[in-house]
Amino acid sequence: MPTIITPREYQDYRHTAGLATSDVGSIWMQPTKATHIYFDAAKSNYLPALKQTGEHGSTVLDIGRGVMVRVSGHAHLVDGVWTIDPGYFYVDRDTGGDVTHEQKRRALAVVEPMIQRWADDHPSSLVVAEHCDRNNGARTLEENISRHVAALKVLRRELRACDGGRAWSQYPDLPTSR
């Protein structure tokens, strides 16, 4: 008979975060695994206050020609180069207005090298984030295994009751259905 597994502890990766700084501003970086970084400059979700800094010390970025922007998004490591997924790259003017395609392109040209430099300077943060991601994935599997083992016990009890002459329950209360 399988035993119920006690899932391992959740490991938080927030301590791996840091700031990428340059003469154009600073971006908060949060690696979630070795090949993925979430980034944010001056809290792209800025409403209602149009502050020039974010809660983690990031600032609006100067992309040239007097344009200041807030950015957020996801970067992925592809063939050794950190690239920003265009579908998850958000850019707003520091005043809350929209940017032009040219301004978004310039913002991308400013942000990608900052991410690359930060990642190159903080390899241990990426390793720790990867470890946390693997640990938490295993934890999820252990939780699922534990629920299914408990469900198996319920189904076996239903089967024994049915063999003992009791009408079977088509929909027993299983831990997997919660």
Three-class HEC string of 16-37:
HCEEEEECCEEEEEEEEECCEE
Position 148 in a domain: no
Q: Report the C-alpha gap between 178 and 170 in whole angstroms.
A: 16
Query: How is residue 164 annotated by DSSP?
Result: T
Position 111 in a domain: yes
Position 24 in a domain: yes
Question: What is the extent of the structural domain holding 55?
Answer: 14-127
Per-residue tokens: 38: 């979430």
Pairing of strands 61-62, 81-93: unpaired
Q: Are 39 and 30 in contact (CB under 8 A)?
A: yes
- Overall domain count for the chain: 1
Position 53 in a domain: yes
Position 34 in a domain: yes
Q: Are 40 and 27 in contact (CB under 8 A)?
A: yes
Position 140 in a domain: no
**pLDDT of 3:** 63
- Would you write out the chain's pLDDT as a tens digit for each of its 178 residues? 556 678 889 888 888 999 999 999 999 999 999 999 999 998 755 555 677 877 788 888 999 999 999 999 999 999 999 999 888 999 988 888 899 999 999 999 999 999 999 999 999 999 999 999 999 999 999 999 999 998 999 899 989 999 999 987 777 888 887 6
**What are the Cα distances from residue 177, in Å, to 54, 87, 158?**
41, 34, 16
Position 41 in a domain: yes
53 class by beta-carbon count within 10 Å (0-12 exposed, 13-18 middle, 19+ buried): middle
Per-residue tokens: 27: 């971006």
**pLDDT of 4:** 65
Q: Report the C-alpha gap between 31 and 12 in whole angstroms.
A: 11
115 class by beta-carbon count within 10 Å (0-12 exposed, 13-18 middle, 19+ buried): buried
Q: Are 13 and 139 in contact (CB under 8 A)?
A: no
Position 160 in a domain: no
**pLDDT of 176:** 81
